[in-house]
Amino acid sequence: MTEWVYKILPAAHWLQMQADGALIPQGLDASDGFVHLSSGKQVAETLAKHFSGQKDLMLLRFQAAAFGEALRWEVSRAGHLFPHLYAPLRQQNVVQVLALPHCKGDNLLPDDWQPEETG
């Protein structure tokens, strides 16, 4: 599918992930039984749908291959395939962290942000 997958989360959850070494599932992740991720092309829509108006968000980038078979591409919103992780999301797998401190309205990503995509 794609080489990179992304997780959007509040900065407080990122700090907790660093302290614990892994993300403690909360909200939809806890109730659905997997970690919701996005491809680079899905990040903006995910931000707009689930995080509009929130402040102090973080965007974490992961290499999809690092998750092996625990990462599954499953049909979700509007019939599109989304990456779902059926394993702990570990801090050691984070490749890049981008702070999103001022997410407002529909313009949620920095103007210079470009998803790193292949395939």
Confidence of residue 9 (pLDDT cuts 50, 70, 90): very high
Structure pTM? 0.87
The count of domains in the chain is 1
Written in H, E and C, the secondary structure of 46-112 is HHHHHCCCCEEEEEEEEEHHHHHHHEEEEECHHHCEEEEECCCCEHHHEEEEEEEEECECCECCCCC
Residue 118's pLDDT is what? 46
Residue 48's pLDDT is what? 84
Domain harbouring 40, CATH code: 3.20.170.20
Task: Give a yes or no: residue 113 inside a domain.
Answer: no
pLDDT for 119 beyond 70: no
Confidence of residue 117 (pLDDT cuts 50, 70, 90): low
Residue 78's pLDDT is what? 83
Task: Give a yes or no: residue 58 inside a domain.
Answer: yes
Task: Give a yes or no: residue 81 inside a domain.
Answer: yes
pLDDT for 112 beyond 90: no
Task: Give a yes or no: residue 114 inside a domain.
Answer: no
Residue 16's pLDDT is what? 95
Closest to 62 in 3D by CA, of 33, 28, 88: 88
**Distance (Å) of CA 1 to CA 65, 69, 115:** 10, 13, 14
